[in-house]
Amino acid sequence: MKFNVIVDQLSQFIKSHSLTTNPDFNPEITQLAAIDEAASGHLSYIEGAKFASMVSKTDASALILPVDETLQTEATQRGIAWIATVEPRLVFAHAIRLFYQPFRPCPGIHPTAVIHPDAVMGENVSIGAHVVIGAGVKLGHDVCLHPNVVIYPGVTVGDRTILHANCTIHERSQIGADCVIHSGAVIGSEGFGFVPTAAGWFKMEQSGITVLEDGVEVGCNSTIDRPAVGETRVKRHTKIDNLTHIAHSCEVGENCAFAAQVGLAGGVKVGNRVILAGQVGIANQAKIGDGAIASAQTGIPNDVPAGEIVSGSPCVPNKLYLKVSAIYKRLPEMYQTFKQLQKQLEKE
């Protein structure tokens, strides 16, 4: 694809601002690449100061640059076509779509799928081989179920939602429109509810449901349980990575992003736009305010105020954590002095 065609297309996608470009070069672009791997014929992007020095080294034929005249001049001098934008990564994301669309089976129902006669389906659904759909399931228009998906009775799935191979949706779950559930994920399974008794654990049946609102994405092998009563809910446009666990009765706000292997215990309430990095854990009933951020492996035993950045286990504000972590390494040194001082104190 010619570079000027790419620029034209991207200009139509990006409405918030106009893209600047260098009209002198118009290379043929054959593929996209990360900046450290880009070769001739490739389009890549530069985001932030960390990779700016790559402009002088890359073999890429074209770059999406931040708005930075020095970089633009440098690219021009090296014969590299460029687009300048305040959002290089977003523009690159749009550019990928010009070259690639993920695999999507044609509409139709595979003859090996087992579909309960009660199930209701919209138009243009795509139902893969060996899919199993229980009684009373309702699928919207353009829903895509990849092979070996199992949907228990009473589930609803909104328009255009994609369920990847080998995922399982349990009874009465409600999944919105434009969701993506990745392979092996389990939605609406029984919450971990047991009451201790003298005779052992007594199972509390999980009569509630799991609700995923529109635009939610759930990563591979992640699990979102349903509660004993009421709902577990993930709100609009929240994105959840692989191997994450969301327990019964949790409520996760809109536009959150949870990285891989995060775990939320029962009844956690997470606000909107919360970001949890990998392997974060949140204890029972904790409330996380809007816009809070937890760095990787953070352990959150209690509530976190809106906008707070927390780190460590048990967590503290990130600024404090950075100081504490720096000192942590000096504990042996501190301890030696401490022992000396302790001796002196004893003398006095």
Among 24, 101, 117, 347, binds a second copy (CB under 8 A): 101
The residues, ordered by sequence, that sit 6+ positions from 70 with a Cβ below 8 Å of its Cβ are: none
- Chain centroid to CA 273: how far? 12
Among 41, 184, 289, 305, binds a second copy (CB under 8 A): 184
Would you give the DSSP letter of residue 20? E
| Region from 4-12, 70-78, 235-243, 302-310 binding a second copy, contact rule CB under 8 A | 235-243
d(CA 232, CA 267) in angstroms, rounded, equals: 8
Q: Is 229 in the site for a second copy (CB under 8 A)?
A: yes
Taking the complex as a whole, the smallest distance from the CB of residue 126 to a second copy amounts, in Å, to: 13
Q: Is 206 in the site for a second copy (CB under 8 A)?
A: yes
The residues, ordered by sequence, that sit 6+ positions from 298 with a Cβ below 8 Å of its Cβ are: 276, 277, 280, 281, 310, 311, 312, 313, 315
Cβ atoms 86, 66 nearer than 8 A: yes
Interface map 316-345 toward a second copy (x if CB under 8 A): x---x--xxx-xxxxxx-xx-xx-xxx--x
Residues 113-142 touching a second copy, rule: CB under 8 A, are: 114, 128-130, 132, 134
248 is catalytic: yes
Among 24, 48, 117, 203, binds a second copy (CB under 8 A): 203
d(CA 242, CA 237) in angstroms, rounded, equals: 16
- Chain centroid to CA 315: how far? 22
Q: Which CB atom, from 37 or from 69, has the smaller least distance to a second copy?
A: 37
Among 140, 158, 193, 253, binds a second copy (CB under 8 A): 193
Q: Hunting for tokens 């509390």 — which residue is that?
A: 204
- Nearest Cα neighbor of 280 from 252, 319, 249 is 252
H or E segment and range at residue 178: none
d(CA 334, CA 348) in angstroms, rounded, equals: 21
Q: Is 303 in the site for a second copy (CB under 8 A)?
A: no
Q: Which CB atom, from 23 or from 216, has the smaller least distance to a second copy?
A: 216
Among 21, 189, 210, 232, binds a second copy (CB under 8 A): 189
Residues 268-297 touching a second copy, rule: CB under 8 A, are: 277-279, 281, 283, 296-297
Half-sphere exposure of 195 (CA within 13 A, CB side): 7
Q: Is 207 in the site for a second copy (CB under 8 A)?
A: yes
Q: Which CB atom, from 134 or from 140, has the smaller least distance to a second copy?
A: 134
Taking the complex as a whole, the smallest distance from the CB of residue 77 to a second copy amounts, in Å, to: 25
Q: Which CB atom, from 23 or from 48, has the smaller least distance to a second copy?
A: 48
Cβ atoms 63, 36 nearer than 8 A: no
H or E segment and range at residue 253: none
Residues 35-94 touching a second copy, rule: CB under 8 A, are: 37, 87, 89-90, 92-93
Q: Which CB atom, from 77 or from 339, has the smaller least distance to a second copy?
A: 339
Taking the complex as a whole, the smallest distance from the CB of residue 17 to a second copy amounts, in Å, to: 12
CB atoms within 10 A of CB 189: 19
Q: Which CB atom, from 40 or from 101, has the smaller least distance to a second copy?
A: 101
| Cα–Cα distance list, 295 to 111, 272, 277, 320, 322 (Å) | 47, 17, 5, 13, 11
Residues in contact with a second copy, counted by CB under 8 A, come to a total of: 120
Active site residues: 248
